[in-house]
Amino acid sequence: MSSHRQITRVLIVDDEAVVRQGISRALHNRQITTKTAASGEEALGLLNHHDFDLVLLDIKMEGMDGIEVLQRIRDRYPGTRVIIITGYPTIDTAVRCTKLGALDYLIKPFSLDDLDAALEKAGREAVVVPDESVDQSGLRLDSEKHLMVGNSPPIRRIFEKIKRVAPTESTVLITGESGTGKELVARAIHANSSRKEQEFVAVDCSSLVESLLESELFGHVKGSFTGAHQTKHGLFELANHGTFFFDEIANLSLNIQAKLLRVIQEREFMKVGDQQKIKLDIRIISASNTELSEAIRKGDFRGDLYYRLSVVPIHLPPLRERKEDIPLLIHHFLDKLSRKVKRDLPEVTSEAMDILSEYAWPGNVRELEHAMERILILEDAPVIRPGHLPSYITQRQGELQMFSEEPLTLSELEKKYIAFILKRTRGKKTRAAQILGINRKTLAAKINKYGL
């Protein structure tokens, strides 16, 4: 959960006086203090002498442009939020600004509603403040190699959330598709917390049968049930003073959910068949690859437990939404696996890297790691080329060779391309419409037209 910070001091940087005055007037009406600068140099001078919650920064300016100002703000004042304002929007500029840490992108002329929405977002979003545990490759844990790897804006924001929440005692709920690294986030939180010298205990709620789960969690005393030949310490007891991680928590039965809620509320528990209460001091982190709100609606998950577990929610994006991290992850896995099997680190050609970067990775980071292990072991090549990649990854490239076949009509080409995009998004129409640049209603009409 991003911490909300009130925006009270704003620097407006634009070489057009009418823009500076208009924004300044609008912000004054919202009880926000402003200062203005007509150039990048003037803006940096003001930043050197005043603290600002937010900078509204124009791109096209005489002398030092907005990109250079943004870079310097990131280097010198990493805690300052920046929103880009421009009358000359381009995709390249938007991507570059986002990578440099800009929170939003307003296109002139913009409405007061647009400005209000940007201010609200700026107050809500966390700023990634560099520190010694986060470098350009990922999140470092003590003396270990990087535990989480990535440098894309989404993953950097997650690193910042980890750093913010780790020192607290708040419960954390991590969501995301299978293979996105939910347990790694949990371990990163533990490793950056005051409990890092204590136990980190993980339990996969989908792998234990209901009849054994209660005994596994709470332990049991000798003779408490058939087969209980000796007293057993439960996982809660083993994790005392440390961190307990519930993976796939949606699989807990309502009976166990009720008992877990009581443990969280009372901070004590009893072994199965025992009357003696054991005091419990643990930090609880949970993860789910399903939408718990839907489980609550169906009556399969307790709403009161959900609110206890999700004090700080962290959502992990799928790998296809942070493709710029793929080359970094590939190098990380090949390096780690090469050391493990005692082989030289192979190179990856740009052609092979392009194919790997464009693959959808339905299994996410876990699938990528397994693919690198397979290539390293089976191919044993000093240079990884497209021919070394698994066929299920390379076959998608062939689907795009539609122009080498017999000529198609525009209608036939459209049908073929829409079918390809639907396959790529695994039938998700909203995502397909975004890629195609049309609205969902138009896509639905074309699917119906072509009988897809």
Distance CA 346, CA 356 (A): 15
Q: Are 415 and 452 in contact (CB under 8 A)?
A: yes
Query: pLDDT at residue 126 above 50?
Result: no
pLDDT of residue 46: 85
Distance CA 403, CA 325 (A): 31
In Å, what is the CA distance from 412 to each residue of 408, 409, 440?
Answer: 6, 5, 20
Q: Which helix (H) or strand (E) holds 161?
A: helix 153-165
pLDDT of residue 396: 54
pLDDT of residue 156: 87
| Secondary structure in 3-state letters for 6-34 | CCCEEEEECCCHHHHHHHHHHHHCCCCEE
Query: pLDDT at residue 228 above 70?
Result: no
Name the CA dihedral angle for 324, 329, 332, 334, rounded to a multiple of 10 degrees: -120
pLDDT of residue 12: 92
- The answer for residues whose C-beta is within 8 angstroms of residue 180's C-beta and 6 or more apart is 316, 317, 318, 319, 364, 365
Alpha-carbon torsion (318, 324, 326, 331), positive or negative: negative
Distance CA 143, CA 130 (A): 18
**Confidence category of residue 247, pLDDT binned at 50, 70, 90:** very high
Q: Are 244 and 284 in contact (CB under 8 A)?
A: yes
In Å, what is the CA distance from 63 to each residue of 11, 27, 240?
Answer: 19, 27, 60
What is the rounded end-to-end Cα distance, in angstroms, of the chain?
40
- Which tokens is 92 given? 């390249």
pLDDT of residue 223: 56
**Confidence category of residue 170, pLDDT binned at 50, 70, 90:** very high
**Confidence category of residue 60, pLDDT binned at 50, 70, 90:** confident
Quick one: how far is CA 129 from the chain centroid?
A: 16
Query: pLDDT at residue 287 above 90?
Result: yes
- The answer for residues whose C-beta is within 8 angstroms of residue 383's C-beta and 6 or more apart is 346, 347, 348, 349
| Secondary structure in 3-state letters for 257-273 | HHHHHHHHHHCEEECEC
pLDDT of residue 410: 77
Q: Are 97 and 78 in contact (CB under 8 A)?
A: no
CA-based nearest residue to 118, from 54, 202, 165, 50: 54
pLDDT tens track for 342-398: 888 888 888 888 889 888 888 899 999 999 999 988 887 889 998 899 888 887 544
Q: Are 83 and 104 in contact (CB under 8 A)?
A: yes
User: What string of DSSP letters covers 129-144?
Assistant: ---TTB-SSEE--TTS
pTM metric for this prediction: 0.58
Q: Look at residue 307 and give its three-state secondary structure.
A: helix
Q: Which helix (H) or strand (E) holds 193?
A: none
Could you give all domains of the chain from N- to C-terminal order, each with its CATH number?
9-124 (3.40.50.2300), 138-315 (3.40.50.300), 321-398 (1.10.8.60), 401-450 (1.10.10.60)
User: What string of DSSP letters covers 403-434?
Assistant: GGSS---HHHHHHHHHHHHHHHTTT-HHHHHH
Question: Which residue has tokens 């928590």?
Answer: 249
CA-based nearest residue to 303, from 314, 291, 312, 295: 295
pLDDT above 70 as % of the chain: 85
